[in-house]
A = this chain, B = another copy of it.
Amino acid sequence: MSVSEQTKFVYFFNEGDASMRELLGGKGAGLAEMTRAGLPVPDGFTITTQACLEFFAQDGRYPAGLQAQIDAAMQRLEKETGKHFGDPQNPLLVSVRSGARASMPGMMDTILNLGLNDETVVALVKMTRNERFAWDAYRRFIMMFSNVVLDVDKHIFEEKIADAKQQGGIKDDTLIDAATWRSLVDEFKAMVKEKSGRDFPQEVREQLDLAIRAVFESWNSKRAIDYRRYHKIPDDWGTAVNVVAMVFGNLGDDSGTGVAFTRDPNTGDSKLFGEYLRNAQGEDVVAGIRTPERIANLQRSQPQVYAQFEKIARKLERHYRDMQDLEFTIERGKLYMLQTRNGKRSAQAAVKIAMALVDEGILSKKEAVTRVDAASLDQLFHARIDPAEHFEVICRGLNASPGAATGQIVFDPDSAVEWKEAGKNSILVRTETTPDDVHGMIAARGVLTAKGGATSHAAVVARGMGKPCVAGCEALQIDQRARTLSMNGKALREGDWITIDGSTGNVIPQRLALIDPPSKLPDWLAEFLSWADEAREMEVWANADTPEDAAKARELGATGIGLCRTEHMFMEADRLPIVQQMILANTPEARAKALEKLLPFQRDDFIGILKAMRSYPVTIRLLDPPLHEFLPSLEKLLVETTELRIQRGEQDPEYQSKRAVLQRVQQMHEQNPMLGLRVCRLGIVYPEIYAMQVRAIFEAACTLHSDGVDARPDVMIPGVGTAEEMKTTYEAAKRVADEVCAQHGCSIPYRIGTMIELPRACVVAGDLAQTAQFFSFGTNDLTQTTYGYSRDDAEASFIPKYLELKILKDDPFLVLDRKGVGALMQQAVRSGRESRQDLKIGICGEHGGEPSSVAFCHQLKLNYVSCSPYRVPIARLAAAQAALGSLT
């Protein structure tokens, strides 16, 4: 926009409309729209955000033409109200209010009652025949103006009022009489002079000018900047300024002020929900000095006004086609609307309101689908702390897996299992977790770790289990030997009660009451998601490792398993010793023997999961982690062998056997296990492991097939980076699969494909697709290698700092990095499909359940996203919104 003398910087409310939000700000556009709709709105005008930006660009000078336009607008306002600004007989009073494009509640400044001075206050007394009101209004104006414009601390005024109340022996501001207010006004003016070095301005045009400038400048206050940073609002939007003729809610009991939602923002119920304060100005509601009444009470005290308000509320809702958040004032029985905007609401309310609006014929189903924040659905599937509880948060970690849990502290997984067997609820508290801890995580109600980020082992496994987890709680120090912990000076012992909230990251050192989530998908949500299903183009699958998870995923709407990890199966108590035998085997024969023992376990695992998903594809990933993850930890062994050596000597047989294990673990130790002997490298160096797994998969499928179950296994090779790896592992797997099918005389439809989780795989995707029948992006690992960040380390160390410094806009492990990782994905999709037209492509990283990432996957034209079962509803909704274009 070019700026000239002709540029229109000022809009009367009847000159604007809702579409001009960018120029007029949210409040200004709402007032304009209500004015156009014929609703009772005080007269006024809006100075545009463009004027604000020009003001900044010119180092605090008004752009050419602005002053003249303001003057003209004030003249028009005088004409419309029949009052005159600064007139000692019939003075016009105005409020000056900020209003940015996005709502920033309480962040910027508002000044009421502007236009009062020593003369006009006298006129106000006469006009209202209410001396107390008038002097109260003046002192309010002095307080607000001095605070906002002259930077005088408002507490000095409040102290004076408190002194006056004490002297008068009264408790409530409303009981202060006119004389007292009047003498306080004098005192306030003296204080202003003392603090600011100038007289309180009596010239009303100067008041207005200073107020407008102050509102502009409040855009750059520290709190406003912090707020924008947190909510990711651009700095270059600027704020508009609304100048509104004053109406007064504090002119007696037939006056008042209030806020209301057109529907219940918690439940979505279709009835007005809000608060009303009799004989008060808006700021009194915010200040919380008096307790407001429920809006319904207005129906009894002022039935006509209430009826009018209800009608307006319905009209606005229909007009905006959404639930509204309203502000209003009643001046001596006359209703004025001061604000309307779309109301914030809970997930449940969002869904129910959207559905009700469809019922009421206001929205189409497709529109309804776009109206619910997909991420918010997460709230519905987790326990939360009873809002009635009072508690103190002792420290905060990462909100790694949502939901709240309360239980007694245990420090090791075995204790968690014992306590569970004894019927106790425990919280497993660890420095960090490893696969060795999984049985303890299963037994505990929740997990709290001192290290590790939102995609650390603890977080990923807990999310997969749908179990609350607070991770990377840096203030937490554990003394494993003493079985104690300390957090910010608070010491706790094993067995002490603790509550963690994985949705907020809060840790509370006490037992709290929780509210459980519904045990199944509520009917209303199921119906709503069925609308989403009609709109979306991508399939939604789930990551699930057990029949229970698979069943849960189906219940929540998944139509396939995109990632079934086989390593968790290796971790269970009855298998781990065999797995360890296999790893410690010195000969291929000994290894083969151990693998033979594992085969029936794996086959049973696969029977369970393939059966649960009958007729849907189950993508089974062959062994992925480095083998040393299945062995005892090096650190533990070092301590234990040192103890044994000193206490029993080097000849002790236990020392010697433990030392042998230590040596093997040291031999297998890797500097950077994430980049070591894992994924398909394992399957190539030890082909017998993958052969056993593929055999187990197809024996399971054939067994089910003979029972009439339609088993659909797909085999996924992890971590492929070269065409040769793909070909070698593909051929080996196909050989075994075909052999098993031939032995059983049955024909199982299957595909063999690969995870795309290395930058090189993206670059050579065209070559991989010559062999691979499907791709599944493993974006956790792909993000790690593309950025060179270890998920186990980065989220607890430098990522928080990076977010703070805006070096990262989002944590790339939570929100897919489109520019880097995404560009590589795009390259892979393009060259993969060039090579194989019908290549099925999905995603099975954590991002598969994050709405923005799901939208990006839609843009890449992926066939499916796969996420943890509890995120399936989110992904269904996000995929629909992406297809409808409302989520980009």
Residues of B within 8 A of A823 (CB): 763
Whole-angstrom CA separation of A435 from B206 in the bound complex: 69
Residue-by-residue, is A565-598 near B (CB-CB < 8 Å gives 1, otherwise 0)? Answer: 0000000000000000000000000000000000
Asked if A706 is at the interface (CB within 8 A of a chain B CB), the reply is no
Residues of B within 8 A of A728 (CB): 805, 807
The reply to whether B671 and A673 form a contact with Cβ atoms under 8 Å apart is yes
The reply to whether A763 and B819 form a contact with Cβ atoms under 8 Å apart is yes
Binds B, one of A47-55, A400-408, A674-682: A674-682
Q: Which of A677, A725, A760, A823 has the most CB of B within 10 A?
A: A760
Asked if A646 is at the interface (CB within 8 A of a chain B CB), the reply is yes
Asked if A639 is at the interface (CB within 8 A of a chain B CB), the reply is yes
Residues of B within 8 A of A801 (CB): 684-685
Q: Known contacts being A646-B647, A672-B675, A819-B764, is A786 close to B759, with CB within 8 Å?
A: yes
A662 to chain B, nearest CB (A): 10
The reply to whether B820 and A671 form a contact with Cβ atoms under 8 Å apart is no
Residues of B within 8 A of A808 (CB): 722, 724
Residues of B within 8 A of A784 (CB): 675
What copy number does this chain have within its complex?
2
Residues of B within 8 A of A797 (CB): 670, 676-677, 685
Q: Known contacts being A793-B672, A807-B725, is A760 close to B781, with CB within 8 Å?
A: no
8 A Cβ contacts from A773-800 to B: 781, 784-790, 792-794, 797-798
A401 to chain B, nearest CB (A): 19
The reply to whether B673 and A674 form a contact with Cβ atoms under 8 Å apart is no
Residues of B within 8 A of A759 (CB): 759, 785-786, 788, 820, 824
Residues of B within 8 A of A638 (CB): 635, 638-639, 642
Asked if A466 is at the interface (CB within 8 A of a chain B CB), the reply is no
Residues of B within 8 A of A112 (CB): none
Asked if A643 is at the interface (CB within 8 A of a chain B CB), the reply is yes
A627 to chain B, nearest CB (A): 11
Q: Which of A431, A646, A728, A759 has the most CB of B within 10 A?
A: A759
The reply to whether B677 and A764 form a contact with Cβ atoms under 8 Å apart is no
Residues of B within 8 A of A764 (CB): 819-820
Q: Known contacts being A639-B642, A794-B675, is A802 close to B763, with CB within 8 Å?
A: no
The reply to whether B786 and A758 form a contact with Cβ atoms under 8 Å apart is yes
8 A Cβ contacts from A749-764 to B: 757-760, 763-764
Residues of B within 8 A of A722 (CB): 807-808, 820
A213 to chain B, nearest CB (A): 32
Asked if A625 is at the interface (CB within 8 A of a chain B CB), the reply is no
Whole-angstrom CA separation of A425 from B258 in the bound complex: 90
Query: Can you name the residue of chain B whose Cβ is closest to the Cβ of A727?
Result: B807
Residues of B within 8 A of A798 (CB): 677, 681, 684-685
Whole-angstrom CA separation of A797 from B670 in the bound complex: 10
Q: Could you say which of B676, B787, B793 contacts A721, with CB atoms under 8 Å apart?
A: B787
Residues of B within 8 A of A719 (CB): 788
The reply to whether B785 and A824 form a contact with Cβ atoms under 8 Å apart is no
Q: Could you say which of B676, B684, B758 contacts A807, with CB atoms under 8 Å apart?
A: B684
Q: How large is the interface on A (under 10, 10 to 19, 20 to 34, 35 or more residues)?
A: 35 or more
Asked if A300 is at the interface (CB within 8 A of a chain B CB), the reply is no
Whole-angstrom CA separation of A867 from B42 in the bound complex: 76
A305 to chain B, nearest CB (A): 54
Residues of B within 8 A of A724 (CB): 805-808
A504 to chain B, nearest CB (A): 25
Residues of B within 8 A of A786 (CB): 721, 758-760, 763, 785
8 A Cβ contacts from A721-770 to B: 721-722, 724-725, 728, 757-760, 763-764
Q: Which of A685, A721, A793, A806 has the most CB of B within 10 A?
A: A793
Residues of B within 8 A of A807 (CB): 684, 722, 724-725, 728
The reply to whether A790 and B671 form a contact with Cβ atoms under 8 Å apart is yes
Residues of B within 8 A of A760 (CB): 786-788, 817, 820-821
Q: Could you say which of B676, B785, B806 contacts A794, with CB atoms under 8 Å apart?
A: B676
Residues of B within 8 A of A39 (CB): none
Residues of B within 8 A of A673 (CB): 671-672, 793
Residues of B within 8 A of A824 (CB): 759, 763
A867 to chain B, nearest CB (A): 23
Residues of B within 8 A of A758 (CB): 786-788
Residue-by-residue, is A814-827 near B (CB-CB < 8 Å gives 1, otherwise 0)? Answer: 00010111011000
Residues of B within 8 A of A635 (CB): 634-635, 638
Residue-by-residue, is A43-72 near B (CB-CB < 8 Å gives 1, otherwise 0)? Answer: 000000000000000000000000000000
Residues of B within 8 A of A642 (CB): 638-639, 642-643, 646
Query: Can you name the residue of chain B whose Cβ is closest to the Cβ of A799?
Result: B681
Q: Known contacts being A638-B635, A805-B728, is A792 close to B671, with CB within 8 Å?
A: yes
A654 to chain B, nearest CB (A): 16
Query: Can you name the residue of chain B whose Cβ is closest to the Cβ of A728?
Result: B807
Whole-angstrom CA separation of A790 from B790 in the bound complex: 12
Q: Could you say which of B670, B763, B781, B789 contacts A788, with CB atoms under 8 Å apart?
A: B781
A188 to chain B, nearest CB (A): 44
Whole-angstrom CA separation of A819 from B721 in the bound complex: 11
Whole-angstrom CA separation of A817 from B784 in the bound complex: 20
Whole-angstrom CA separation of A807 from B723 in the bound complex: 8
The reply to whether B802 and A684 form a contact with Cβ atoms under 8 Å apart is yes
Whole-angstrom CA separation of A354 from B757 in the bound complex: 49
Query: Can you name the residue of chain B whose Cβ is closest to the Cβ of A679?
Result: B788
The reply to whether B820 and A763 form a contact with Cβ atoms under 8 Å apart is yes
A623 to chain B, nearest CB (A): 14
Q: Known contacts being A638-B635, A672-B672, A672-B675, is A820 close to B721, with CB within 8 Å?
A: yes
Residue-by-residue, is A655-697 near B (CB-CB < 8 Å gives 1, otherwise 0)? Answer: 0000000000010001111111101010011000000000000
8 A Cβ contacts from A799-853 to B: 801-802, 805-808, 817, 819-821, 823-824
A243 to chain B, nearest CB (A): 40
A541 to chain B, nearest CB (A): 24
Residues of B within 8 A of A789 (CB): 675
Residues of B within 8 A of A647 (CB): 646
Whole-angstrom CA separation of A621 from B310 in the bound complex: 69
Query: Can you name the residue of chain B whose Cβ is closest to the Cβ of A781?
Result: B788
A480 to chain B, nearest CB (A): 11
Residue-by-residue, is A442-459 near B (CB-CB < 8 Å gives 1, otherwise 0)? Answer: 000000000000000000
A559 to chain B, nearest CB (A): 31
Binding site for B on A (CB under 8 A): 431, 634-635, 638-639, 642-643, 646-647, 666, 670-677, 679, 681, 684-685, 719, 721-722, 724-725, 728, 757-760, 763-764, 781, 784-790, 792-794, 797-798, 801-802, 805-808, 817, 819-821, 823-824
- What 7 A-B pairs have minimum CB-CB distances, sorted nearest first? A675-B790, A672-B790, A759-B759, A760-B820, A671-B792, A642-B642, A676-B793
Besides the contacts A674-B790, A722-B807, what 19 more A-B pairs have beta carbons closer than 8 Å? A431-B666, A639-B639, A642-B642, A670-B792, A671-B673, A672-B790, A675-B785, A675-B789, A677-B794, A681-B798, A684-B798, A684-B802, A684-B807, A721-B786, A721-B787, A759-B785, A760-B787, A764-B819, A764-B820
**10 pairs, CB–CB < 8 Å, chain A vs chain B:** A638-B638, A672-B675, A674-B788, A676-B790, A676-B794, A677-B797, A681-B802, A722-B808, A728-B807, A763-B820
